[in-house]
């Protein structure tokens, strides 16, 4: 890999980590190295993700280097710490908001690229987005919630996709632009969006398989969307092209992490309306008293005798702590006769990864007929 001083000079020119095929080399100058935590070690120095133990810093003349072997198509976020204090990486200017009031450093391996769908193409027909303050009374924390509605640039009625964590998908995942480009490219049927903000501190409670959240959705969000958007009858659709048997609702529901859990729960509870479920990194690994609470709840909800079953798309990063519970949930759904598709990618638990994989799920669930 070269002498540490040569690597330092190269890092000053190119930025860190230095990428050479499957090698990512971090460079640090100082008396002692920082702690390196990121997707690649599941944010723990003790994690043995690759099976060979995590590499350690090597030093020469106050220049420290650490090399990881990573997939060529990977996207990764990380931080440097001294104790519990975050440090600035002076050799990496690339930062991204982590959703928790701080920023992570990030890098891509040589075969990874951001989704081209997030860029507006000249000449593409545009829809429009409106903002609404919806009162939910006792059903939601605080009694009110912001909902964004997106109308695609079509006159004919279209299905609706409800999006939990709507503001994050609107701004951080740029979902409206991606949907617009997919429609323009004739890769999906036109679809409208209802993007529902979460309850901030109450988000965990509202998305933990909450009947109250479902009641808010049905009593307040759907009537709002049906008033302001040109929508098909939610019970008139044939689902995701699965033929006559197992017909489900025309609408879809999407979410990530706890929102991914709530998306699946929504489809299982209300399949006659929400016949298409897109769960990104669903938080299915919750445990109480040693029991896998979420999987137990899904077993209760997934009934072999159920006549209407949603089509399910699941994706998850291979470097997430949730990956095993997502694999288990996918197997559980298939064992109970659900048409569940599962996809993994080389990344961790963040909106950049969800944004870049989002089109796969939307195309699978809303194919152009």
Residues 149 and 284 in one domain: yes
Residues 60 and 208 in one domain: no
Gyration radius from the chain CA atoms? 22
Write phi, then psi, for 359 (nearest 5 degrees): -60, -35
Residue 244 belongs to a domain with what CATH number? 3.40.50.1820
Residues 136 and 77 in one domain: no
Report which of residues 54 and 87 the model is more confident about: 87
Instruction: Quote the distance between the C-alpha of residue 323 and its chain's center.
Output: 13
263, 253 in Cβ contact below 8 A? yes
Token duo for residue 222: 């759907």
Residue 24 belongs to a domain with what CATH number? 2.60.40.10
pTM over 0.75: yes
pLDDT, position 20: 96
pLDDT band at residue 303 using 50, 70 and 90 as cut-offs = low
pLDDT, position 241: 41
> Residue 223: which domain range?
116-365
Q: What does the pLDDT look like over 12-49, one tens digit per residue?
A: 999 999 999 999 999 999 999 999 999 999 998 765 55
Residues 74 and 171 in one domain: no
Residues 169 and 261 in one domain: yes
Question: What is the average pLDDT across 103-109?
Answer: 97
183, 193 in Cβ contact below 8 A? no
Report which of residues 243 and 366 the model is more confident about: 366
Report which of residues 288 and 298 the model is more confident about: 298
Q: What does the pLDDT look like over 80-103, one tens digit per residue?
A: 999 889 999 999 999 999 887 889
What is the average pLDDT score of the chain? 89
Question: What is the average pLDDT across 276-287?
Answer: 91
Q: Around Cβ 97, how many Cβ atoms within 10 Å?
A: 14
Q: What does the pLDDT look like over 331-353, one tens digit per residue?
A: 989 988 888 999 999 999 999 99
């Amino acid at each position: 890999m070269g002498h540490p001083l040569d690597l330092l000079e190269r890092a000053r020119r190119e930025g860190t980590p230095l990428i050479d095929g499957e090698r990512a080399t971090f460079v640090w100058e100082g008396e002692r190295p920082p702690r390196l935590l990121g997707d690649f070690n599941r944010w723990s120095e003790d994690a043995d993700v690759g099976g060979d133990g995590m590499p350690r810093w090597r030093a020469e003349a106050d220049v420290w280097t650490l090399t990881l072997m990573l997939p060529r198509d990977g996207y990764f976020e990380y931080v440097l710490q001294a104790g519990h204090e975050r440090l600035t990486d002076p050799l990496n200017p690339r930062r991204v908001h982590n959703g928790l009031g701080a920023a992570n450093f990030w890098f891509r391996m040589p075969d990874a690229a951001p989704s081209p769908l997030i860029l507006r193409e000249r000449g593409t027909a545009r829809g429009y987005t409106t903002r609404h303050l919806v009162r939910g009374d006792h059903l939601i924390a605080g009694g009110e919630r912001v909902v964004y509605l997106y109308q695609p640039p079509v006159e004919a009625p279209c299905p609706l996709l409800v999006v939990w964590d709507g503001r994050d998908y609107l701004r951080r995942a740029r979902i409206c632009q991606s949907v617009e480009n997919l429609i323009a490219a004739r890769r999906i049927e036109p679809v409208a969006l209802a993007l529902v903000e979460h309850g901030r501190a109450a988000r965990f409670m509202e998305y933990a398989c909450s009947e109250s959240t479902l009641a808010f959705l049905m009593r307040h969000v759907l009537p709002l969307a049906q008033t302001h958007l040109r929508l098909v009858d939610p019970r008139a659709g044939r689902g995701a092209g699965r033929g006559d048997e197992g017909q489900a609702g025309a609408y879809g529901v999407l979410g990530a992490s706890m929102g991914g859990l709530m998306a699946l729960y929504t489809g299982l509870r209300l399949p006659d309306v929400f016949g298409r479920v897109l769960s990104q990194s669903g938080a299915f690994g919750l445990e109480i008293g040693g029991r896998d609470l979420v999987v137990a709840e899904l077993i209760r909800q997934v009934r072999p005798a159920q006549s209407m079953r949603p089509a399910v798309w699941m994706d998850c990063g291979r470097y997430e702590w949730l990956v095993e519970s997502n694999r288990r949930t996918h197997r559980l759904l298939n064992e109970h006769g659900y048409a569940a598709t599962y996809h993994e990618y080389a990344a961790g638990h963040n909106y950049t990864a969800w944004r870049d994989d989002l089109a796969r799920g939307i195309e699978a669930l809303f194919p152009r007929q």
